Amino acid sequence: MITIDGTTFELADFTKSATASRIGINNSLQGEDVKDFEFLKDIIVKIQAKYGKPIYVDSGFRSKSLNKAVGGVSNSQHRSLGNEAAADITTRNQSENRQLYEVIRKMVNSSEIVLDQIIDEKNFKWIHISVKRTGVNRKQFFKL
C-alpha cells in the first residue's frame, strides 16, 4: 500500500471504476497485470514525493470489457497487455496539473523515473502516464 494523497492507496485502487460497478464488469488484476501495476505504483510514489502535493489516480487498470465500455482503444496501456500499465493522474486543478506535468518531464529527462508516455489530456484536465515494465520505454511527451 502507498500514500499518494494523504490517504492509504492500495494496488486494488487501480481497479476501481464507477462504470465497472454500474454495469457489473469484473475489473480485477490478474497474473502479470499485478506486476505491471506494482511497477507503476512505485513510479507514482516517486512522482508524488518529488511533487510534494496530493496526486489522485482517476483511472488505472481496465479489463477488456471495461475498456470497451469506456470507449478505450484496443491497445490501451490501461489494459496491461503483458508488460504495460497506465494511469490517469490529476491534482484536481488544471493549473497544478501543468506544474505536475513539468515535474514529471524533469524526472524522466534526468532518469529519476522511466515512463513510456506522458500525455497532457484536454489542456491538463488530467495527465496520462504509462510504463513498460520490460522492454523500451519511449519517453514520449505529447498532448491530446
The 10s digit of each residue's pLDDT in 48-100 is 989 998 888 889 999 999 999 999 999 999 999 889 999 999 999 999 999 99
Q: In the beta sheet, which residues pair with residue 62?
A: none
For the record, the C-alpha cell of 107 comes out as 524526472
Q: Where are the domains of the chain?
A: 2-143
Domain 2-143 classified CATH 3.30.450.40?
Answer: no
- 17 and 67 in contact (C-beta within 8 Å)? no
- 28 and 66 in contact (C-beta within 8 Å)? no
The Cβ of residue 119 has, within 10 Å, a number of other Cβ atoms equal to: 18
Q: What are phi and psi of 57, to 5 degrees?
A: -95, 115
pLDDT at 133: 95
pLDDT at 120: 98
pLDDT at 8: 64
Residues 39-44, mean pLDDT to the nearest whole number: 93
Residues 103-110, mean pLDDT to the nearest whole number: 98
